[in-house]
Structure 1
Amino acid sequence: MPAMSNLAGKFHHIEAASAAEQPTEANIPGQVTADVIYPALVRHLTGLLILALCLWMLAGIIHLVAGLRETLAAGWASIAEHVIIKALIMLALLEVIRTLQAYLKLGRVRVTFILDTALVVLIGELMGLWFKEYAPGKVLLGLGVIVTLVALRIVTARFSPEAASDAR
């Protein structure tokens, strides 16, 4: 930046300094709380939640591996049931973590991530019915909800504001 040797440059510098000293909306105490403290608190709490979910997932994996020894005596079908159901729970946790990470990155939760999480959970529940006695009405209801969520997922992906801005 060239040195300010003329009088007009010095006046401009003084005006800029006095404008910076005047109170702005960011200097109001309540505004600082809303703009600085609250978002930082939410980021930290969301980060702690992700950490807790990861630790919960690690504990679930350890419990699954430790429980395999006991279920070996029960037979292959019992092992398959436990592994499939617990693996689907882990996938649901991964989707929740992905949703939280997207929130931290974007500052909002995308509907597609919520629908993905719901689909993983419901498909896991439906697959869990394979190993139990179930009523056909319950299965049809679950399939109906899954089909509806898939349709919503397609609509939200097709008409997403991000997709519209990418097409321009």
Structure 2
Amino acid sequence: MINQTIAKRKGTFLLTDTDWHTRTIQLIVGILMLALYLWIGAGILSLLLNLPDILKNGWAYVAEHIIVDIVLILAVLELIRILQSYLALGRVKVTFILDVALVVLIGELIGLWYKEYTLLEVGLHIMVIAVLTLLRIVSIRFSPDAID
């Protein structure tokens, strides 16, 4: 019995040992998730600390920054969702990646409202968002997980 175990181990290389690889990936993903949670906490704290600025700079100025910051926090939450799905499924779903891209691009589009922008910039943002939305629909429709 012991000889069989040793014979099985002789043919394997440490880096290709799935148990070692799985634990290493889980550790790295866990550290990334912890960093993202800390980043979200810092973002929420920043939002709360900026609330007194409403009295100084006016509501519209601060609302602009709060809206953009909240959209960024939502994008980070979507990143955490990607990492969680990777841990649960062992792969990353394309729809989750497209969700993050859509949230970020929509945040950028919202940010353009408060800046000087050209019609070309807005058009490009809308076009990219439309393409990503179509890709998301296609990825859901033709997903290996889709049940017919």
Q: What TM-score do you get using the length of structure 2 for normalisation?
A: 0.92
Deviation at 1:79, TM superposition (A): 1.8
How far apart are 1:21 and its partner, in Å?
4.5
Distance 1:108 1:28, change over 3 A: farther
Look up the match of 1:153.
136
Match of 1:63 in 2: 46
Q: Does 1:23 align with 2:7?
A: yes
Which residue of 2 is the match for residue 5 of structure 1? none
Q: For 1:113, which of 93, 96, 101 is the aligned residue? A: 96
Deviation at 1:70, TM superposition (A): 2.2
Q: List, as ranges, runs of 4+ consecutive aligned residues in structure 1 with deviation greater than 2 Å.
A: 17-22, 28-33
Q: For the residues of structure 2 that align with 1:140 and 1:55, how far apart are their CA atoms?
A: 35
TM-score scaled by length of structure 1: 0.81
Identify the match of residue 58 of structure 2 among 75, 83, 104. Answer: 75
Gaps of 5+ in 1: 1-16
Instruction: Kindly report the root-mean-square deviation, in angstroms, between the aligned alpha carbons of the 2 structures.
Output: 1.7
State how far apart, in whole Å, the 2-side matches of 1:138 and 1:77 are: 23
The match for 2:109 is 126
Alpha-carbon shift at residue 112 of structure 1 (Å): 0.7
Number of residue pairs matched? 147
- Opposite residue 28 of structure 2, the aligned amino acid is L
Structure having greater relative contact order (Cα 8 Å, sep ≥ 6): 2
**Cα distance change, pair 108–21 in 1 and its aligned pair in 2 (3 A):** closer
Identity of aligned residues (%): 47
Q: Is 1:33 matched with 2:40?
A: no
